[in-house]
Amino acid sequence: MESPSRPLSLYFLPFLSPGHMIPLFEMSRLFSARGHRVTIITTPANAQLLHTTISKDSSSGHPISAHTFPFPSKQVGLPDGIENLFNVYDIDTATKIHTGMHLLREKIEQFITANPPDCIFSDMFHPWTADLAIKLRIPRIVFHATCIFAMSLKDSMRKPDSPHLSVQSDDEPFLIPGLPHPITMTKSELPDYVRTPNGYAQLMEQFREAELKSYGVLVNNFYELESDYCEHYKKTMGHKVFHVGPAALIHRNAAEQADRVHKAVVGEHECLSFLNSKKPNSVLYVCFGSACIFPNDQLMELASGIEASGHQFIWVVFGKEENEEEEEKNKWLPKGFEERTKGKGMIIRGWAPQVLILDHPSVGGFLTHCGWNSVIEGISAGLPLITWPLYAEHFYNEKLVTQALGVGVEVGKKDWNLWIDAGKNVVRRENIEAAVRRVMDSGDPAAEMMREKAKMLGEMAHKAVKEGGSSHRNLTVLIEELEQLRDQKVKGN
């Protein structure tokens, strides 16, 4: 694509966690690929994670770079190099990282004020950028790291007449009014700050107020997947929504898919060697994101349920060492599990090349925690999902998959907890086996219909990011609007 004669200067300010940083970084690359000057504002350790990709893009003529601010490790009591929430499984460390990012605000604000861009793309966790953008007379685009469906449900829950306030028990289903589909939930599935308002609820209100001051919302999704909810949300919030995803589809080959910011603990060739030996749609991929470590009793139930289903699998597990003692292994894996499943299953202990795995034709289903990045990556791969939500907006995402789209099966998880307590109430092996069979067993007409729907959505996702597709057009529209706003500002001065 021809480079613009007057490229925009665009700042991207991600939050310091993989689930937020990776998709916003990938979307920033879409702008630099169009010839606009992109600057990622982050810390040195996080910039290092992005360095290889930024160098490749720059070598290809795409104007993208990182501007760093030293993370105040000593001030918050953290070792050097701990600058994001990857592999953080305790409240104390997470709080220190949040505090460190807050301490950087003044320096970042000074830099942006002295070197104003044409637009700030800000993660929701930086609400202060809304007032800064107004002061500098530039647009702010907010990124929530989720879909508009989830944002619509979240907004419904904050209303004073929300039905969750009048149910008799935590497990009594209620219908959420005013939505394009009849979506039902239970109170136990709602975040703790919704069930019992606390300090985080006040923080969420700050995020909402900052969004209302912003020019629009950037979404890692494609319009067709949630068109009704996009229109609903635009009416509710009264501003613009730009679907420009799925972001992970920017990766065009296996090598790029295998190396997305964090280095995978298994190589591209090892994964492909396993998957290439399997029949189409025969492997179940199991992953619960990088922010949750299940207790041993939940891992034992999960392993037992997968094995009882009889299906082949790739299972990603965090918090376990590759060469642990047999005694330790027997605490979370049934005795002889790895021997019995040799050749049928692969356990990846750490960061996995998820997009590479999901896109392989031998993978036929995805057991997921319903983090938005995982959901949209599974949908982009045309896969039916087994939903096991844990925290954040996961239960909202589950309802999109199972109730609105009809491309998933619930495993039966009904309690929302903080990520550190996500495995507190154990899901039993019988539930896991039944859910896996419903998605992976061949010959079931309902499963085949779900698989066809999922395949169709995957094709739509790929079409959306191609030239002429909805996400490609939305990106063009957003760039043109930002250019007009810049030119109007110049004329006004």
Packing angle, helices 372-380 and 445-465, rounded to 10: 100
Kind of pairing, strands 363-368 and 283-287? parallel
* Closest by CA position to 369, among listed 332, 408, 330: 408
**CB of 15 closer than 8 Å to CB of 22:** no
Whether 359 is a known active-site residue: answer no
CA angle 133, 134, 140 (to 5 degrees): 40
Catalytic pick from 57, 118, 123, 359? 123
**CB of 372 closer than 8 Å to CB of 379:** no
Alpha helices in 254-388 (DSSP H): 254-258, 268-276, 296-309, 326-329, 337-340, 354-358, 372-380
Whether 123 is a known active-site residue: answer yes
CA pair distance 239, 251, nearest whole angstrom: 30
Per-residue b/e over 148-186, b at no fewer than 16 CB within 10 Å? Answer: bbbbbbbbbbeeeebbbeeeeeeeeebebeebeeebebb
CA pair distance 177, 183, nearest whole angstrom: 8
Token pair recorded at residue 348: 């990846």
What does the chain come to in residues? 493
**CB of 76 closer than 8 Å to CB of 103:** yes
| Catalytic positions, written as ranges | 20, 123
